[in-house]
């Protein structure tokens, strides 16, 4: 029996939904550089707009503080029994919402479980007693030492009309440190491993790959096929341009690269393709990070080109070194990445003189991925670089709201916030983690725009937030 239960129920809707739900942005984002935090200019002109949704009200349950009129529901906690009999694993991370049948929303959620995680963190019970329920071939890595890898994904089916969880089930098993990923135009989720150990005493198989997970309300596990030609490295997230099918990938290391994967057949990632790394025109091996010197000013725009990366399974985990030697630009911990209306937004968590992060905007060439690209190159712009003002700190996962603002998860120190950035470059804090100092993760809107889903990672919670989102459409 195959471990795969492929979803066919939503394929006709998927491409149309992807374009609609991710295209709300680019108009006006050219003003985002006015956000400032512009270390290169030596100023701190960041502005906040607390009136966007209003000030926080303290949560009597001490989980999340929200503006007046907003409310939340904790819809999934680690350790709960799921509809398929497995348990909800810990370390909720990257996530995306997809349209389901009958108006339902389907969430696919990563679990960032490391190789040393204990059985009690897993879907399989404190002594792995539920492992025997898995179909043959469902685990990517059963472990060389008898301990299976515990990362993977779960799928939640949610009714936004009644704000009720309908069902949830395990959907990918046996992978490792599933951090973020991204949706595809053909209605699947790409889950990324943010670690790259080789097979040996602990692991039976190499790691550092992406895996494709079907989106379905029906219980079933993805066939755990590593998408090897997308590269073996410390993946964070991916974004796909629906016009070309090209996949853009971030690498969560302090000296990482930005990659793109040009598939041999758009929509068929397992059939291989070409991996490339991003370069800045006329500035080979350029350092974008502004860590010790301010090489890039906020608002500065660069022409780009891409170089092929070879030996992509990289047994030495050295793609970034070889890419940089060949001319690719360095980025400081590329994490969240999101496509919207012809542009791609990229969060680099620890960039900048104060190590508080940057957000970049990449505009693909009208001839992206073709031989005419050098004539009409893509453009890369530094939109924001966080300063010491405390308005945003260590940007991580991000998404685009239905009204066009970026909604960004913080992963810094102290209090953690969900932060919004308007197309005009103004910034506001939408929500505060009131239960802990854990990062937010996996922020995503339901297809109908009614509900914002987000994880509080170390507290192992998934929240559904509703309220007067219409305020977001009001320009202040």
Q: What is the DSSP string of 16-71?
A: HHHHHHH-S--TTGGGGGGG---GGGT-----B-GGGT--EE--TTSSEEEETT-E
Q: Say what the pLDDT of residue 473 is.
A: 80
Tell whether the model's pLDDT for residue 8 goes beyond 80.
no
Tell whether the model's pLDDT for residue 13 goes beyond 80.
no
Look at strands 71-77 and 461-466 and give their pairing: antiparallel
Cα–Cα distance measured from residue 227 to residue 67, given in angstroms and rounded to the nearest whole number? 42
Task: Show the domain range for 335.
Answer: 17-473
Q: Say what the pLDDT of residue 424 is.
A: 75
Rounded mean pLDDT, 117-131: 96
Higher-scoring residue by pLDDT: 458, 3: 458
In a domain, 1, yes or no: no
In a domain, 5, yes or no: no
Q: How many domains does the chain have?
A: 1
Q: For 222-274, how does the pLDDT look when each residue is reduced to its tens digit (9 = 90+)? A: 999 999 999 999 999 999 999 999 999 999 999 999 999 999 999 999 999 99
| Closest to 357 (Cα-Cα) out of 291, 406, 312, 404 | 291
CATH number of the domain that 25 lies in? 2.120.10.30
Rounded mean pLDDT, 364-383: 95
In a domain, 113, yes or no: yes
| Closest to 248 (Cα-Cα) out of 273, 222, 283 | 273
Cα–Cα distance measured from residue 227 to residue 220, given in angstroms and rounded to the nearest whole number? 20
Question: Among all chains, which residue has been given the structure tokens 């930005």?
Answer: 258
Contact 193/210 with Cβ under 8 angstroms? yes
Q: In which band, very low, low, confident or very high, does the pLDDT at 49 lie, cut at 50, 70 and 90?
A: low
In a domain, 166, yes or no: yes
In the chain, the N- to C-terminal Cα span, in Å, equals 57
Rounded mean pLDDT, 308-317: 97
Cα–Cα distance measured from residue 125 to residue 98, given in angstroms and rounded to the nearest whole number? 29
Rounded mean pLDDT, 23-37: 32
Contact 439/416 with Cβ under 8 angstroms? yes
In a domain, 151, yes or no: yes
Q: Range with the lowest mean pLDDT among 334-338, 344-348, 420-424?
A: 420-424
Residue count of the chain: 476
Q: Say what the pLDDT of residue 293 is.
A: 80
Q: In which band, very low, low, confident or very high, does the pLDDT at 34 lie, cut at 50, 70 and 90?
A: very low
- What is the percentage of the chain residues whose pLDDT exceeds 70? 88
Q: For 387-441, how does the pLDDT look when each residue is reduced to its tens digit (9 = 90+)? A: 766 789 999 999 999 999 999 999 988 999 999 998 777 889 999 999 999 999 9
In a domain, 9, yes or no: no
In a domain, 451, yes or no: yes
Higher-scoring residue by pLDDT: 3, 473: 473
Mean pLDDT of the chain: 89
In a domain, 111, yes or no: yes
Cα–Cα distance measured from residue 414 to residue 356, given in angstroms and rounded to the nearest whole number? 13
Tell whether the model's pLDDT for residue 155 goes beyond 80.
yes
Q: For 54-87, how does the pLDDT look when each residue is reduced to its tens digit (9 = 90+)? A: 999 999 999 999 999 999 999 999 999 999 999 9
| Closest to 404 (Cα-Cα) out of 325, 338, 468 | 338
Tell whether the model's pLDDT for residue 289 goes beyond 60.
yes
């Amino acid at each position: 029996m195959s471990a795969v239960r492929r979803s066919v129920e939503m394929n006709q809707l998927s491409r149309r939904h992807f374009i609609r739900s991710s295209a709300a942005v680019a108009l006006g984002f050219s003003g985002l550089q006015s956000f400032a935090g512009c270390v290169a200019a030596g100023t701190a002109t960041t502005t906040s707009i607390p009136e966007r949704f209003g000030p926080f009200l303290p949560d009597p349950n001490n989980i999340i503080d929200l503006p007046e009129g907003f409310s939340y529901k904790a819809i999934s906690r680690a350790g709960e029994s799921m509809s398929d009999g497995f348990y909800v694993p810990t370390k909720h991370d990257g996530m995306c919402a997809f349209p389901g049948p009958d108006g339902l929303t389907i969430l696919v959620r990563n679990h960032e479980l490391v190789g040393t995680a204990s059985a009690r963190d897993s879907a399989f019970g404190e002594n792995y007693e539920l492992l025997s329920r898995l179909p043959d071939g469902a685990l990517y890595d059963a472990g060389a030492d008898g301990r299976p890898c515990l990362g993977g994904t779960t799928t939640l089916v949610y009714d936004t009309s009644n704000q009720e969880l309908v069902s949830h089930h395990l959907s990918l098993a046996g992978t490792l440190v599933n951090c973020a990923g991204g949706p595809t135009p053909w209605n699947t989720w790409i889950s990324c491993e943010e670690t790259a150990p080789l097979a040996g005493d602990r692991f039976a198989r190499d790691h550092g790959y992406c895996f494709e997970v079907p989106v379905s309300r029906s219980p079933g596990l993805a066939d755990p096929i590593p998408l090897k030609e997308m590269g073996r490295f410390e993946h964070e997230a991916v974004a796909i341009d629906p016009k070309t099918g090209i996949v853009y990938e971030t690498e969560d290391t302090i000296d990482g690269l930005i990659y793109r994967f040009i598939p041999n057949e758009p929509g068929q990632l397992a059939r291989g393709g070409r991996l490339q790394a991003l370069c800045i025109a006329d500035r080979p091996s350029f350092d974008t990070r502004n860590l010790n010197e301010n090489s890039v000013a906020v608002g500065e725009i660069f022409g780009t080109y891409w170089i092929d990366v070879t030996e992509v399974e990289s047994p030495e985990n050295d793609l970034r070194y070889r890419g940089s030697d060949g001319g690719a630009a360095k980025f400081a911990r590329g994490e969240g990445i999101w496509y919207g209306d012809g542009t791609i937004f990229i969060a680099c968590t620890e960039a900048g003189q104060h190590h508080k992060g940057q957000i970049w905007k990449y505009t693909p060439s009208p001839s992206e991925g073709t031989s005419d690209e050098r004539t009409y190159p893509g453009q890369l712009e530094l939109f924001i670089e966080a300063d010491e003002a405390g308005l945003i700190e260590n940007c991580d996962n991000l998404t685009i709201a239905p009204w066009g603002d970026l909604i960004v998860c913080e992963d810094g120190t102290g209090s953690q916030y969900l932060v919004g950035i308007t197309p005009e470059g103004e910034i506001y804090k939408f929500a505060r983690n009131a239960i802990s100092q854990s990062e937010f993760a996996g922020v995503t809107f339901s297809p109908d725009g009614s509900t914002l889903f987000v994880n509080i990672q170390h507290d192992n919670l998934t929240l559904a937030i509703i309220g007067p989102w219409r305020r977001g459409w009001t320009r202040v």
